[in-house]
Structure 1
Amino acid sequence: MITRLSAAEFADAVPALAEVLADCTNGGASVGFLAPLEASAAEAWWKELAGEVAEGRVLVWAAWDGSRLVGTVQVRPARLPNAPHRAELAKLLVHRDARGRGLGRALLTEAERGARGAGITLLVLDTETGSPASRLYESAGWTEAGTVPDYAADPAGTLKPTTFYFRRL
């Protein structure tokens, strides 16, 4: 099951969200953090988002396996006056032991649906070039906009190229 988290639900879910973020980072996913990522650092990062979630500036969905949170995705609407139609898709994460069940695609679909419902007509994202995530986005109909070499370090600290994608809703 996938649900959009309210501010209160988000606050309650922070430890589980941190577990998913640490698992993905420590498993090699390039999502902005270096390995090893300790649970406390992951939890602190999520806590910093609480105000933005409460204000609707970050929309967060969670994938559940029963009562266990096993995946998440964010939509971050643009804040500029000339961009109310645009948002960034960010932190699409699925715990390693929950992969292979279509949760990544389901989270992506739900985030797109939620963005559309919020009046967003254009989503953008970036991901490590050639990663499993890039294959997911391409198979889901996202359009490659371009690749930047040495854009971000992977969890081991090695600079890697990043591919940017967009999707009209």
Structure 2
Amino acid sequence: MPRTGEIFPSHRGSVLVAWGETAACLVPWRRGKAVDGDVSTSSTAPILPVTPAPPAGPLVHDSGADTAPGVIVVDSCTSLGTTLVVHLRGEIDHCSSAPLRALLASAADHGYTGLVLDTSQVTFCDSELLAIVESWPRHGRRVRLANRSRAVQRLLAAAARAGRQPAQAPTMAATS
């Protein structure tokens, strides 16, 4: 039996078309017409002309956010016993938080249990800062937000209105 969809040579003005494993039928063959009855060509040229792709420019990494200033800067990082004191400057969002997350992961691996984030120079922050602050207290660790900038105060006020209360400790001065 022929394979499914296979068309066999003409037999008295008809062709044998097979489908499935056990079915076939003889259908009339109309000369000069294509399979669908409307399109016919003897040309082998492509239907659409081949357009060369424009040359690729230099590969540029797009962080997805405005790059100026948009960078979180760890101004300083000091330790007081098992407490890490980090002074931040700039913007804290999903696109800029990776260095801070890496620093805190390393600090946790090295046994730091306390964290003081001085946010007086933070110009913008969103829920990413909340996520960072909420993730630190796992396994008995403590976190404090010190010298909260206006951006941080707005974020915490919005979080409180939404019922989310990270780092409820009062504002305190960080010592370095």
TM-score, normalised with respect to structure 1: 0.30
Bigger radius of gyration: 2
> Which gives a bigger RCO, structure 1 or 2 (Cα 8 Å, sep 6+)?
1
Specify which structure has the higher proportion of helix.
1
Which one has a larger percent strand, Structure 1 or Structure 2?
1
Q: What TM-score does the superposition give when structure 2 sets the normalisation length? A: 0.30
